[in-house]
Structure 1
Amino acid sequence: MNLLLLHPNFPGQFKRLAKELMGREEWRIVGIGEGERGSGGAERITYRGYSHPTGPAEAAFPLGTDFAEHARRGRTVADLAQALKDKGFRPDVILAHPGWGDALFVPEVFPEARFIAYLEYFYRAQDSDLDFDPELRVRSRDLRTVPLRNATNLLAFAAADCCVTPTRWQAGLFPPQIGSQIEVIHEGIDTAHAAPNPAAAFALPNGAVLSQADEVVTYVSRSLEPYRGFHVFMRSLPEILKRRPKAQVVLVGREEISYGQNHASGQSWKRVMLEEVGADLDMSRVHFLGQLPYDAYLDLLRVSSVHVYLTYPFVLSWSFLEAMACGCTMLGSATGPVLEVLKDGENGRSVGFFDRAALVDTLCELLDDPAQRRRLSQAARETVLEHYDFKTRTFPRYLDLLTQ
């Protein structure tokens, strides 16, 4: 079987799938993405990178700028696909994240291949991430153009033989006539690697070593930004530290924005929030670690007493499920993507995204109740094992999808 994988941040969501397939002799995998990539242990994957999408940068109509960029990127990827075809490569299946335009024209290069589109998100102007936060609500003028953001995914749906998305919540964002035809298959969690370890230890930059004997509150996000509730968590910290004099609070994430808006001042949200509440924080107990190597990040989750995860109604982070797999006691926001997985009182606790008082009270309740934490943490891992394990849940379904 020949498989062509398309993702600008290759391998993106297909990382575990590609790793599993490349170990099988009957599979040949070719990937196309933006920029060069090291092998990352994927020596049996042929990779072709592009640096600059071809064609003029200017859109004929300003509101069409995003789609014009997608079309330019799509033409670049199609040129690479044609070069592969000229050298004799013929994919049986194309699996692509089409959200940036990479897959726009490739099905025309390989019309005989089966095309599977990974449809990650359908944008909406109302009752969505864009109007969720009163503090950072998008201007109504900008909201009128939101439907244009869906054009590339809608074209992919029209061209695809099959479509997938990671969660039922994400499938439900699409119009019913589309969402009902999308297969829900999560990318999966390596639960053998992301697993509890009672003997785990985590060294802080100041030399202190944390273990499960310590009171550790963790917060993890790719970026420290409002989409993942960073501003809410930071505004809760003064009261958390006041009520928990022994707590160590560890935050993981870069300062650059991944989603949403930059702060109007131009400063990072970390700087903005430290200016707002920093004077009320005992910084000897608040630790910003930036980004961590994966194994160190897992060790931090393993020593966590309570893991706080907040998100707008937006795509669910891998870190949420990895924390559950590591046996964390979860305290999540009562938003759609979280509530699909987290059942309050069963495998974690949930509070309103903006309810800082409930966040503090529930966190303190959990820290005071080791028995409740043990019960919830065990149930959290069992949830991931039952529904999100890569080996037993995700991979068999993807393999069926690719080979049927």
Structure 2
Amino acid sequence: MCAVELLQKRRDDFHTLVLAQDAVAYGDKLAAGQGWGQRALQALDLDRDRLHLHGMKPRPDYLRVLQASSAHVYFTEPFVTSWSLSEALAAGCLVIGSLTPPVEELITDMQTGILVDMDDPEEVADMIEWAFDHPAEVAAIRARARAMICDRYAAEGGFADKAARLAALIAGTRTG
């Protein structure tokens, strides 16, 4: 949100859509009625006309948002990535992610996404702005990211293929 504050000051055309619950998923809970989003709104000078806060959306709506987005900012502490990182990459969305080991498992900087120091709002803002100003390069990154996810995790040759081989083994037949 600090990067959002910087970008709102730099660009009149900058809008941010946030789809989230203002709740703590991991770590210590905050006091009743408080969330990190609420804290950011109180602490930062944000133009609320260009900050669009929405709760969670049904998956089809969420996918449409990813596909239409200029960038999806994904930060996590060294822990694990969630399904949403793979989903964003598979949707062809440019992901600007934290330079942390779990994110680096899926994102190679400037190849399948952009990696940033999530504690450096200036760097985050700079890379979001770079994405706006370099559409051809971003299109190539988005295409490589989607291809990488499809190659690694597509059901064909993955679970579906293994399930068919297991079923054939149980039935006493062989598959190619």
Quickly name the TM-score band, shorter chain normalised: 0.7 to 0.9
CA distance in 1, matches of 2:49, 2:96: 24
**Secondary structure at the counterpart of residue 254 of structure 1:** coil
Whether the aligned pair in 1 keeps the contact of 2:24 and 2:30 (CA below 8 Å) is: no
1:259 paired with 2:26, answer yes
Instruction: Spell out the pairing of 1:32-111 with structure 2 (5 A cutoff).
Output: none
CA contact (8 A) 1:310 1:332 kept: yes
Q: What does the per-residue CA deviation read over 1:373-397, in whole Å, with 9 as the maximum and x for residues that have no partner? A: 1110101100111001234434334
Indicate how the Cα distance of structure 1 residues 317 and 399 shifts in structure 2: closer, same or farther if over 3 A, else same.
farther
For 1:375, the aligned partner's letter is: A
Within the alignment, does 1:390 sit opposite 2:155 as a pair? yes
List structure 1 segments (4+ residues) > 6 angstroms apart after TM superposition: 401-404
Give the TM-score normalised by structure 1.
Answer: 0.39
3-state SS, counterpart of residue 158 of structure 2: helix
CA contact (8 A) 2:92 2:142 kept: yes
Aligned-pair Cα RMSD in Å: 2.0
- TM-score where L is the length of structure 2: 0.87
Relative to structure 1, the CA distance from residue 285 to residue 399 in structure 2 (aligned partners, 3 Å threshold; closer, same or farther) is farther
Q: How far apart, CA to CA, are the structure 2 residues paired with 1:331 and 1:318?
A: 16
| Contact 2:98-2:117 at 8 Å conserved across structures | yes
Aligned pair count? Answer: 169
**Structure with greater strand percent:** 1
Amino acid at match of 1:287: H
Partners of 1:241 and 1:358 in 2: CA distance: 15
Larger Rg: 1
Equivalent residue for 2:124, pick from 351, 359, 367: 359
Query: Contact 1:388–1:394 at 8 Å: present in 2 too?
Result: no
**Alpha-carbon distance in 2 for matches of 1:401, 1:333:** 39
Structure 2 runs not aligned, ≥5 long: 171-176
Give yes or no for contact 1:249–1:286 (8 Å, CA) kept in 2: yes
The 2-side partners of 1:271 and 1:303 are apart by: 26
* TM superposition shift of 1:399: 6.0
The answer to which of 259-268 and 305-314 deviates more is 259-268
Shift of 1:331: 0.8
Who is 2:174 aligned against? none
Q: Secondary structure at the residue paired with 1:350?
A: strand
Aligned: 1:341 with 2:97: no
Q: Percent identity?
A: 33
CA distance in 1, matches of 2:27, 2:163: 31
Q: Aligned partners of 2:153 and 2:11: how far apart in 1? A: 34
Structure 1: gaps (5+ residues): 1-233
Q: Separation in 2 of the partners of 1:394 and 1:326?
A: 20
Q: Distance in 2 between matches of 1:313 and 1:394?
A: 28
- AA aligned to 2:23 is E
Report the Cα distance in structure 2 between the residues aligned to 1:352 and 1:400, rounded to whole angstroms. Answer: 44
Q: Is the 8 A contact 1:301 1:323 kept in 2?
A: yes
Higher helix fraction (1 or 2):
2
- The CA distance in 1 between the partners of 2:17 and 2:111, in whole Å, is 25
Structure of higher RCO (CA pairs closer than 8 Å, 6+ residues apart):
2
- Aligned pairs (5 A) from 1:5-404: 234-264=1-31, 267-277=34-44, 280-397=45-162
**Residues 401, 256 of structure 1: alpha-carbon distance in 2 compared, 3 angstrom cutoff:** farther
